[in-house]
Amino acid sequence: MTKPRLAVRALIVHQNRLLLVNAWPDGQSDLWCAPGGGVEPGQSLPENLQREVQEECGLQIAVGAPCLVNEFHDPASRFHQVDIYFRAEITGGRISADWVDPAGVVTTRRFVTEAELRRLRYKPDSLPEIAWGDAAWDGRALYDPLEPILR
């Protein structure tokens, strides 16, 4: 059995809009998620998250408290990932259509309202709750149980 991959993601709500990325090169999927990615050894989780958001979105962030642990897997390939979501605030940069992710994974990024989010296909299912629901205001962290990966 392979070890789970650890990743970090940023929950950035700016002017009541949530930052999302489409992390499928060349628009292979319409699935949206929060920016972030795999953890590199020797860096703290917040440092990894700051690097990932800079690479994917061109933004500098201040990383706050964890707010969600989400697990997903692909039974066919035995891939298993654990995402730790952190609340974050933008401290520099701006979203630009001509920003290029050096890894070439994120090709689209955008801020959405809660109503717009609910019209998109996104993961994890708890995104609206951690961004705008009771969990957003009372400081508690949520846990999403293991679920199969979506493409």
Q: Tell me: the pLDDT tens digits for 135-148?
A: 778 878 888 888 87
pTM (2 decimals)?
A: 0.92
Express each pLDDT in 63-108 by its tens digit. Answer: 999 999 999 888 888 889 999 999 999 999 999 988 898 988 888 9
- Reported in sequence order, the residue ranges of the chain that DSSP labels E, i.e. its strands, are 5-11, 13-14, 17-22, 31-32, 36-38, 59-74, 79-93, 108-112, 121-122, 142-148
Q: Is 109 helix (H, G, I), strand (E, B) or coil?
A: strand
CA dist 31 and 77 (Å) reads: 20
In this structure, are residues 71 and 147 in contact, taking their beta carbons and an 8 Å threshold? Answer: yes
